[in-house]
């Protein structure tokens, strides 16, 4: 089952997501990137119905970019989060998107922020959040070890602790994860945690 | 003649669409704009008519980005420009969303021109009163391009072109002096063309330079002044060389 989780640290925010693309009992690929770089200083980690996930997050990304071209400045993280929630809310009673989202961003005057947006358009500004079966384990780990203003080293350590719990305790645990970070220098990939590499074709 | 300019959808007996031609007149009254294509640099320049003292000049942007690799300058009705630019920006993102590819300069030019043409063949509307200069780099081949559209909806690619006030003089200058340039030389050529018709000085010219690596960069007034000074010095040196023929026999 898919898993996305994230937390705020000292001047940064982390978003981690599993990287399995699954259909019924088949794993299509184990290196699917589910944390989209929304713009220079925003991350959008999404999980849920595969088609909806890509469709909805790309739609949000293009609209965020359009705002920047129209207005000459990027959207604030809070504004992007509210826009995203609004789109989910509009579609909810017509043709809902089944996508859960963690939106992390860095604003110059506010610092890092993290928003929890679920598929029925709930919006919460949080310090830590998680979606999926893995959330049971990730949230418990974070409840135990998280404190505000963690250093990057400690935060990555906590993320790794969560990943270990998910791998060892969830029955159909995703093997690989991607971790992305956003801070004053922008949004970027931080690391992958792979326990299964997509094997190449062996020589004949 | 008065009977044929009321409605846009009516041809005159001698084959004119008067509203379109009147729109072209509006363009001719607009501020001068020039575009020059170099091998690795494309330059857009626009005349800045004297800014009123109390106006915040930063809110009047005449050279705009449509996407990270496409920019546009225009001459004519600025309010019409806002509408076209907005539609073009939406189309740039829509294209990226549907085909996962940035637009090519030709595609977005064709789109803008198509929009302008639609308004020459609809009831109850008037044409857009502006001509645009659209520049950019092909997202995959990196080839620079410069296109121009006008109120009739025609478009074509150019090595260098001008539109707006005194565009004929600028185009003549460019035809005489154009050669393949790159980098700063392209900027100088664009400024020299603009200076033919505009009062010299950084505060009367707006220049933006587009490169593949850095996208669109608006030049500061001080930078423009420096280049203008260089150009004037070169001109003075050329004049002096002409006046004093070689003394050696």
Rounded to the nearest 10°, the torsion over CA A23, A25, A30, A35 is 40
The beta-carbon neighbor of A58 closest among B65, B66, B97 is: B97
- Inter-chain CB pairs, A–B, below 8 Å: 21
Report if residue A20 sits inside a domain: yes
Instruction: Tokens 């400690």: give the residue.
Output: A154
B92 and A CB contact within 8 Å: yes
> Please, where are the H alpha helices in chain A?
50-71, 77-92, 134-145, 152-169
Interface with chain B: mutation pick from A54, A55, A62, A63, highest number of B CBs within 10 Å: A62
Helix axes A50-71, B78-99, angle to 10 degrees: 160
Does pLDDT of A123 surpass 90? Answer: yes
Report if residue A204 sits inside a domain: no
B90 and A CB contact within 8 Å: yes
Tallying the residues shown for chain B, one arrives at 249
The pLDDT assigned to B221 comes to: 87
Report if residue A19 sits inside a domain: yes
The beta-carbon neighbor of B67 closest among A58, A63, A69 is: A69
What ipTM did this prediction achieve?
0.85
- Gap between the Cα atoms of A199 and B180, Å rounded: 51
Residue B64's closest CA among B212, B218, B189, B223? B218
Cβ atoms of residues B171 and B162 within 8 Å? yes
Tokens for B124? 């109850």
What are the residues whose beta carbons fall under 8 Å from the beta carbon of B9, sequence distance 6 or more? B121, B122, B123
CB contact under 8 A, A69 and B65: yes
Helix axes A134-145, A152-169, angle to 10 degrees: 140
- Gap between the Cα atoms of B185 and B41, Å rounded: 9
Q: What is the pLDDT of residues B180-224, one digit of tens each?
A: 999 999 999 999 999 999 887 777 899 999 999 999 999 988 899
Higher per-residue pLDDT: A146 or B9: A146
Structure pTM?
0.89
Residue numbers in B near A36 (CB within 8 A): none
The strand ranges marked E within B10-79 are: 33-37, 41-47, 63-67, 70-76
Coil, strand, or helix at residue B49? coil
Q: What is the pLDDT of residues B114-164, one digit of tens each?
A: 999 999 998 888 999 999 999 999 998 999 999 999 999 999 999 999 999
The pLDDT assigned to A32 comes to: 94
Higher per-residue pLDDT: B66 or B52: B66
What is the residue range of A59's domain? 4-196
Cβ atoms of residues A4 and A34 within 8 Å? yes
B78 and A CB contact within 8 Å: no
The chain A residue lying nearest B94, using CA atoms, is A62
Residues 101-160 of B with CB under 8 A from A: none
Does pLDDT of A88 surpass 60? Answer: yes
Report if residue A118 sits inside a domain: yes
A55 and B CB contact within 8 Å: no
B94 and A CB contact within 8 Å: yes
The pLDDT assigned to B165 comes to: 92
The beta-carbon neighbor of B90 closest among A58, A59, A66 is: A66
Residue A61's beta-bridge partner residues?
Answer: none
Report if residue A202 sits inside a domain: no
B70 and A CB contact within 8 Å: no
Does pLDDT of B7 surpass 90? Answer: no
Report if residue A203 sits inside a domain: no
Tokens for A85? 């929630």
Q: What is the pLDDT of residues A8-29, one digit of tens each?
A: 999 999 999 999 999 999 999 9
Report if residue A165 sits inside a domain: yes
Per-residue pLDDT band at B70 (split at 50, 70, 90): very high
Residue numbers in B near A69 (CB within 8 A): 65-67, 89, 92-93
The chain A residue lying nearest B67, using CA atoms, is A69
Residue numbers in B near A65 (CB within 8 A): 93, 96
Question: What CATH number is given to the structural domain containing A50?
Answer: 3.60.20.10
- Gap between the Cα atoms of A58 and B137, Å rounded: 24
Classify residue A108 by its DSSP letter.
T
What are the residues whose beta carbons fall under 8 Å from the beta carbon of B186, sequence distance 6 or more? B36, B37, B38, B41, B42, B43, B209
Residue numbers in B near A62 (CB within 8 A): 93-94, 96-97
CB contact under 8 A, A66 and B93: yes
The pLDDT assigned to A132 comes to: 94
Residue numbers in A near B91 (CB within 8 A): none
Mean pLDDT calculated for residue range B41-50: 92
Report if residue A157 sits inside a domain: yes
B97 and A CB contact within 8 Å: yes
**Average pLDDT for chain A:** 94
Higher per-residue pLDDT: A35 or B242: A35
Tokens for B62? 């005449």
Number of domains in chain A: 1
B96 and A CB contact within 8 Å: yes
Residue numbers in A near B94 (CB within 8 A): 62
- Gap between the Cα atoms of B249 and B15, Å rounded: 63
Does pLDDT of B58 surpass 80? Answer: no
């Amino acid at each position: 089952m898919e898993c996305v989780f994230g937390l705020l640290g000292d001047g940064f925010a982390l978003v981690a997501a599993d990287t399995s693309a699954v259909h019924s009992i088949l794993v299509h690929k184990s290196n699917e990137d589910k944390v989209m770089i929304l713009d220079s200083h925003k991350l959008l980690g999404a999980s849920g119905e595969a088609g909806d996930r890509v469709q909805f997050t790309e739609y949000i990304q293009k609209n965020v970019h359009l705002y920047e071209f129209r207005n000459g400045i990027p959207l604030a993280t809070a504004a992007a989060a509210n826009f995203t929630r609004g789109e989910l809310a509009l579609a909810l009673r017509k043709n809902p998107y089944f996508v859960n989202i963690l939106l992390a961003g860095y604003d110059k005057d506010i610092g890092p922020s993290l928003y929890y947006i679920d598929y029925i358009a709930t919006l919460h500004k949080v310090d830590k959040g998680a979606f999926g079966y893995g959330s049971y384990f990730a949230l418990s780990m974070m409840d135990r070890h998280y404190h505000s203003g963690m250093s990057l080293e400690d935060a990555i350590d906590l993320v790794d602790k969560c990943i270990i719990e998910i791998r060892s305790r969830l029955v159909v645990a995703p093997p690989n994860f991607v971790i992305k970070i956003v801070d004053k220098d922008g949004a970027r990939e931080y690391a992958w945690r792979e326990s299964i590499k997509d094997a190449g074709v062996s020589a004949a | 003649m008065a009977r044929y300019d009321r409605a846009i959808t009516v041809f005159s007996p001698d084959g004119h669409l008067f509203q379109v031609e009147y729109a072209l007149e509006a363009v001719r009254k607009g501020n001068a704009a020039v575009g020059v294509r170099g091998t690795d640099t494309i330059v857009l320049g626009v005349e800045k008519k004297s800014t009123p003292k109390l106006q915040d000049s930063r809110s009047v942007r005449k050279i705009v980005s449509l996407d990270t690799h496409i920019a546009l300058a225009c001459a004519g009705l600025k309010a019409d420009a806002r509408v076209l630019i907005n539609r073009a920006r939406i189309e740039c993102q829509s294209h990226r969303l549907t085909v996962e590819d940035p637009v090519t300069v030709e595609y977005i030019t064709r789109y803008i021109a198509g929009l302008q043409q639609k308004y020459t063949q609809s009831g109850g509307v008037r044409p857009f009163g502006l001509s645009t200069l659209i520049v950019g780099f092909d997202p995959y081949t990196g080839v620079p391009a410069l296109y121009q559209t006008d109120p009739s909806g025609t478009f074509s690619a150019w090595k260098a072109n001008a539109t707006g006030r005194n565009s004929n003089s600028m185009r003549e200058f460019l035809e005489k002096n154009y050669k393949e340039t790159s980098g700063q030389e392209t900027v100088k050529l664009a400024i020299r063309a603009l200076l033919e018709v505009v009062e010299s000085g950084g505060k009367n010219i707006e220049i933006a330079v587009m490169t593949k690596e850095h996208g669109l960069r608006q030049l500061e007034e001080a930078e423009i002044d420096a280049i203008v000074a260089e150009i004037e010095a070169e001109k003075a040196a050329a004049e002096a060389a002409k006046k004093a023929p070689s003394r050696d026999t």
